[in-house]
Amino acid sequence: MPAFIVKQGEGVLSKPYNVLGMPVLLKVAAADTCGELSFFVAHYEKHQGPPLHSHPVDETFYVIDGQHRFKAGDELYEAGPGDMVFIPRNTPHTTLCLSDNGRLLFSVNPSGPVEAIFAKLDAFTSPPSMQEVMEAHEALGISILGAPLQP
C-alpha cells in the first residue's frame, strides 16, 4: 500500500458518513491498513453523542476542538483540545459534546466492525428508531447498552 495524504475537511470516501446526525469522515480505512486500524474525524454539535455502547476493538479519541465528556466503564472524563482518551475493547463507553461545536479524531484498532456500522447507519434515509439502531449494531457484534449521556 502506498503512502497517501487526506487533506483537512476531506475523507477517503466521497462524503462523510451520517452517523445519527453527526458527520463522520473516514480518514484512513481498514483497506488501507490490512484491517489493523481505521481513523475518523467526527463533528458534533452541542449535546450530541452516541448511545452507550461497547465493541471488540480499542478506541482512542483525540480532541481537536470543543469540550467533551467521556464515559468509560464507571468513569467520567472531561476533555478539551489536545487531550486524548483511550478506551480498551469491550468497555462500555460514550461521549457528549459540551461546547457549541466539537471535533474528535478517533481511531479503532483493529478496524473491526466500526466502518460497517457507520455505513449501515448512513444508509438510513430518515432518522432510525432506537430499535433499528440496536438491531444494526447487534448484527455487527456491537452492543448498545444505554442512552447517550445527558448534559
Q: What is the pLDDT at residue 73?
A: 97
Q: What is the pLDDT at residue 82?
A: 98
- What's the CA gap between 137 and 104, in Å, rounded? 21
> What letter would DSSP give residue 112?
T
Could you read off the pLDDT of 97-150 as tens digits, one per residue?
A: 999 999 999 999 999 999 999 999 999 999 999 999 999 999 999 999 999 999
Would you state the CATH architecture of domain 17-144?
Sandwich (2.60)
Whether omega for the bond prior to residue 110 falls within 30 degrees of 0, making it cis, is yes
Prediction pTM value: 0.94
> Residue ranges per domain, the chain?
17-144
Could you read off the pLDDT of 49-100 as tens digits, one per residue?
A: 999 999 999 999 999 999 999 999 999 999 999 999 999 999 999 999 999 9
The answer to whether residue 1 scores a pLDDT higher than 80 is no
Sign of the torsion formed by the C-alpha atoms of 132, 73, 16 and 97: positive
Q: What are phi and psi of 103, to 5 degrees?
A: -135, 135
- What's the CA gap between 17 and 142, in Å, rounded? 18
Residue 120, C-beta contacts closer than 8 angstroms, at least 6 positions apart: 136, 139, 140
Could you read off the pLDDT of 9-55 as tens digits, one per residue?
A: 999 999 999 999 999 999 999 999 999 999 999 999 999 999 999 99
Q: What is the pLDDT at residue 80?
A: 98
**Nearest-5° angle of CA 39, CA 82, CA 8?**
45
